[in-house]
Amino acid sequence: ELLFHFLPGDDVRGEDRSRFRVDHVMQLPRAFRLTLDADQVSDTEYFEDFAQDREGTSIPFLEQLARLSYRDEHWRLTGEVQHFQTIDRELLDPERPYARLPRLVASGDFALGEREWLRYGFDSELVYFQRSLGVTGWRLDARPELALDVAAPGYFLRPSLSWRYTSYALSDLDEAPNALFGRSPSRSLPVASFDTG
């Protein structure tokens, strides 16, 4: 879907006004997929002046997203960039959403044995979050996991162990006077679960 509105020389604002929207999903060779989902307007009053219903006048921001992803039986990989155009003039700079430029996600799920009762895998994310005001930086989040998945007619048993690690590399801390953890906060913790029925 491609949408383009253009109003040359608007008498009220004394300038050209426009809206551009693209919503596109493309299946690429080898299980890759490209997604484009972006919306942009020429000015913050665009929806107030041209919306055809009440919902259009209450849009606080517009998302611009480009994503390349891959998925097969064991792997899920995603690379994306995401940005927002703020429409709500009342939204203060510290309340505006962060852009993610880029965001990389990888996860894997594997099984061992003839019955595939022993499962192992991981989830991970690396992202650079940025905006014009406030703390910016990188975040790494990773969670490897080992689990049993024993099931038969009438019962299942699923114990698992995982380890969650999150680390930041922050900048612009002078804009956050209440920052307690410095430029490189991190956490590391084990997680255990037991699910049966």
179 pLDDT exceeds 80? no
Task: List the structure tokens of 167.
Answer: 């680390």
- In our burial notation (b when 16+ CB lie closer than 10 A, e otherwise), range 111-131 reads eeeeeeeebebebebebbbbb
DSSP 3-state of 117 = coil
Could you tell me which of 74, 77, 91 has the C-alpha nearest to residue 28? 77
Beta strands per DSSP E along 87-154:
99-112, 118-130, 136-148, 150-152
Nearest residue to 136 via CA among 101, 181, 104: 101
Q: Judge whether residue 180 has pLDDT over 70.
A: no
> What count of Cα atoms within 13 Å lies in the side-chain half-sphere of residue 106?
5
pLDDT bin (cut points 50, 70, 90) of residue 62 is: very high
Q: What is the pTM of this model?
A: 0.85
pLDDT for 38: 96
CA angle, 13 then 16 then 21, to 5°: 115
> Among the listed ranges 16-20, 55-59, 183-187, which one has the minimum average pLDDT value?
55-59
pLDDT at 21: 96
Q: For residue range 10-56, list pLDDT tens digits in order.
A: 888 889 999 999 999 999 999 999 999 999 999 988 888 887 776 66
pLDDT in tens, 113-122: 888 899 999 9
- Mean of the per-residue pLDDT values for the chain? 91
Q: What pairs with residue 167 in β-bridges?
A: 140, 186
pLDDT-derived band at 133, boundaries 50, 70, 90: confident
What pLDDT does residue 176 have?
Answer: 56
The phi, psi pair for 50, rounded to 5°, reads -120, -5
